[in-house]
Amino acid sequence: MPQDKKTIATPLFAVAAALFSFASVALAQSGWPAKPVKFLVPVAPGGAPEAVNRLLADRLANKWGVQILIENKPSAGLIVATEQVARAAPDGYTLLSTLTAHVQVPSLFRNLPFDTMRDFAPITQSVEVDTIFAVRADLPVKNMKEFIALAKASPTQLTYGSTGQGSTYHLNGSALSRATGTNLLHVPYKGAVAALNDLVGGRIDSTFGAFPTMMAMVRAGRVRPLAIVSLNRSPLLPDLPTVAELGVTRLSSWFGLLAPRATPPDIVRRISGDVRDIVRDPEVGRKFSDEGFRMVGSTPEEFAAMLEFNLAGWKKIITESGIQASD
């Protein structure tokens, strides 16, 4: 009999424990959010990421009735903010607002203190960010076909500027060079403004840049746009081909939200749905279209698939080019 009681009691205890755990999770979720939610951002304040984060923070605060705190923690390899979120309590109160480099750093840095896929729960890709590839105004080319021909025929290498060794613009330039059979020379800068200034000044031949700053120079006739780093043509520059059309890459820049891995699925879906409602608001789309932003608002499953595709794609580019990040 004692053995029988033990045999019966053990599964009953397991069932009771499971029900208690489920009830505890459900109770915690029903009251979420009950305090401020923090966005940790792995890059410095300013620019496109801040514009999107401020939009989401303002609208989510109104929707949820709690404060949304934005905390920037820039570091090489996005390490500081990303690790902090990976180690945070999985309760929906600490989120990572990250960008394209999240799926590049595993191939650029060794011994990262986190796994970019395993340690996070994808919430949503909020935005796809269009990037312009442009040349100096006096370069004797009018389109990508002529640029490629000039690069192949030039006795010296044509140059392209980037925002630093191992940056997205560096990787884009390397992918362009390899796909077109050219030998473009990489010139790293400490920021996009410095690279663009040297392009306008004629000290480099080409560079990549965000829409707002590039479009100002395009309209002033100080640079000539040749292509868009995106999957789809831009409504602002509909005649420009995309790098996808040119066979360079089907990868583009993006912003998105991640949570610690064990965050309850109901909280993840709540955040994802609310962000989707915000970014798909026609008013928001109109406001950000001139910035080169395409508002996405993907589901957690769609975002997870996109991250996997991008992780593999950037790994291929980085491995084939032999690019390493600078410390």
The ranges assigned to domains in the chain are 35-128+252-321, 131-229
Return the pLDDT at 326.
65
> Using one digit for the tens of pLDDT, what is the confidence trace for 302-324?
999 999 999 999 999 999 999 98
Roughly how many angstroms between the first and final C-alpha of the chain, as a whole number? Answer: 68
Chunked into runs of 10 residues, the chain (327 residues) has average pLDDT values of 40 41 46 97 90 96 98 94 98 98 95 96 96 97 97 92 94 95 95 94 96 90 96 92 94 96 98 97 90 94 98 96 79
Pairing of strands 131-136, 223-229: antiparallel
Confidence at residue 303, expressed as pLDDT on a 0 to 100 scale:
98
Give the per-residue pLDDT at 119: 98
In the prediction, which pLDDT does 93 show? Answer: 98
Check if 35-128+252-321 and 131-229 are the same fold.
yes
Write down the pLDDT at residue 30.
59
Please give the CATH architecture assigned to the domain spanning 35-128+252-321: 3-Layer(aba) Sandwich (3.40)
Q: What is the DSSP letter of 103?
A: G
Rounded distance between C-alpha atoms, residue 217 and residue 211, angstroms: 10
Task: Classify strands 253-260 and 120-129 as parallel, antiparallel or unpaired.
Answer: antiparallel
A 10 A CB-CB count for 294 gives: 19
Matching CATH number, 131-229, of 3.40.50.10490, 1.10.1200.10, 3.40.50.300, 3.40.190.10: 3.40.190.10
Would you state the pLDDT for residue 46?
A: 84
Residue 15 is which amino acid?
V
